[in-house]
Structure 1
Amino acid sequence: MPKIEASTVAEHRAMRERQVLGAAADLLLSGGSSALTPAAVAAAANISRTSIYHYFPSGSDLLLATLEYLMEQSVAELEEAMQAAGPTPLEKIEAYVRASLSSATAGYCAGIIEPQDLPADQCGRLREWHDRLLAPLIDAAEGCKAPDSPLAAHLVQGMIDAAARAIADGNDRQEVTETTVTLLRAAFSNPHAGR
């Protein structure tokens, strides 16, 4: 029987699962979904290849769990950034953008997998995480009196995704971030322009 490295078997399993997910996240961010093989994750997590299947029975289960692990971190970071921001909704949106783009230097989740990488029945769980990710942005857009706050939040997220791709392509992160924030300030300062 393997040595238990925590006070209970449940704690040991949870600790080992986080270790596996951390290694898998690093591989996914650096090499995409094709890098996420059981052998590679096992080697990176310093466990046996067969042990991976005790935690994640299939490759798609491992991929989904890894994406959820990354999304959980993103949600926590964004919520923390928005709570630390100034009191106005626009300041909260700026904090959301800055926090999102600061992660672009370490690796960015958007577009990292193709839709066919996950079975259709697992895509719903990922959509729930995306909804959680956008929820505070929708609230802030509503506070800015955006005509359609869910649409505004999706458009802001689209700008963040485009900005993250620009950073990944070698553009200066600070310059891309400031340009994005400047455009968003203009948009939210006069949400009814042209109506």
Structure 2
Amino acid sequence: MPKIHAATVADHRSRQRAALLDAARALLAEGDASKVTFAEVARRTGLARNSVYKYFPDRAHLLTEVVREAAPHWTERIRTALAAAGDSPEDRVAAHVTAQLEMVRDGEHRIARATADAQDAAALRAGAEAAHRALLDPLVGALAELGDDAPLMTARLLQGFVNAATTALESGADYAAVADRTVRLAVAALRGLAPLPRADR
């Protein structure tokens, strides 16, 4: 019986912690990290404010954990898009750019962006930057497989198109128009490099 009780308590704590992270994630997705307070997170989960301290010692730990848990989801979403793309470098780049812009459209980027702009920014920026680096990993791997001799540099430069597109979308630009132009620009930039070997060569 004690083991069953311990397991039940652990399961309850796991669900409560997940609920707190979901509440913080929802607040960040709304675009303002300053709204992520223990009082507001507790209110949204129906817990007492003091209960939040049982799971996270302070706000910085809560926010950092939101980003840490979100990053693998973002990376997997991009990997899935790349796996479904064609074998050519152009198809891979188009899939990578499109997947990221779809996440921007869905509000996912606001989590890292809002966290990076938070008052307690030093540790949080590190977490957000790590998440952004993780987003490049699938493209870096694809470019390396395709024969790029500086895949990280190429991926970072191509990411500049996505960053500019994100700014445009945040300013209210039309998603379809921005996404189409960004994909075409990124693909054109890739073609401007020394030719990468294609999969059928």
**TM-score w.r.t. structure 2 length?**
0.81
Q: Is the 8 A contact 2:33 2:118 kept in 1?
A: no
- The answer to whether 1:117 aligns with 2:112 is no
RMSD over aligned Cα atoms? 2.6
Unaligned segments of structure 2, at least 5 residues: 1-6, 196-201
Return 109-118 or 94-103, whichever deviates more.
109-118
Paired with 1:116 and 1:149, the residues of 2 have a C-alpha distance of 34
Question: Deviations 1:128-151 (Å, cap 9, x if unpaired)?
Answer: 433322111112233454452111
For the 8 Å contact 1:146–1:188, the answer to whether it is kept is no
Q: How many residues align?
A: 188
2 CA distance for matches of 1:115 and 1:158?
Answer: 23
Check 1:9–1:157 CA distance in 2 against 1; reply closer, same or farther (3 A cut): farther
1:14-57 CA-partner distances (Å, limit 9, x unpaired)? 22222211111111121422111111111122322112111111
Structure 1 residue 11 corresponds to structure 2 residue 11: yes
Give the Cα separation in 1 of the matches to 2:128 and 2:170: 23
Which residue in 2 is equivalent to 1:4?
Answer: none
Corresponding residue of 2:3: none
Tell me the distance in 2 between the aligned counterparts of 1:125 and 1:168. Answer: 22
Rounded to whole Å, the distance in 2 between the matches of 1:111 and 1:125 is 11
Aligned counterpart for 1:141 among listed residues 143, 149, 171: 143
The equivalent of 1:91 in structure 2 is 91
Give the direction of change, closer, same or farther, for the CA distance of 1:151–1:64 in structure 2 (3 Å limit): same
1:190 Cα deviation after fit: 2.9
* Amino acid of the structure 2 residue aligned with 1:61: H
Higher radius of gyration, 1 or 2: 2
2:67 aligned partner: 67
Amino acid of the structure 1 residue aligned with 2:11 = E
Task: Tell me the distance in 2 between the aligned counterparts of 1:129 and 1:171.
Answer: 25
For residues 25-174 of structure 1, the aligned pairs below 5 Å read: 25-107=25-107, 108-109=109-110, 111-112=113-114, 113-114=116-117, 117-120=120-123, 124-174=126-176
Change (3 A) 1:179 1:143: farther
Aligned letter for 2:79?
A: E
2-structure distance, mates of 1:177, 1:48: 43
**Same amino acid, percent of matched pairs:** 32
| Cα displacement (A) at 1:13 | 2.2
SS at match of 1:54: coil
TM-score normalised to structure 1 length? 0.83
Higher relative contact order (CA 8 A, sep 6+): 2
Q: Secondary structure in 2 aligned to 1:55? A: coil
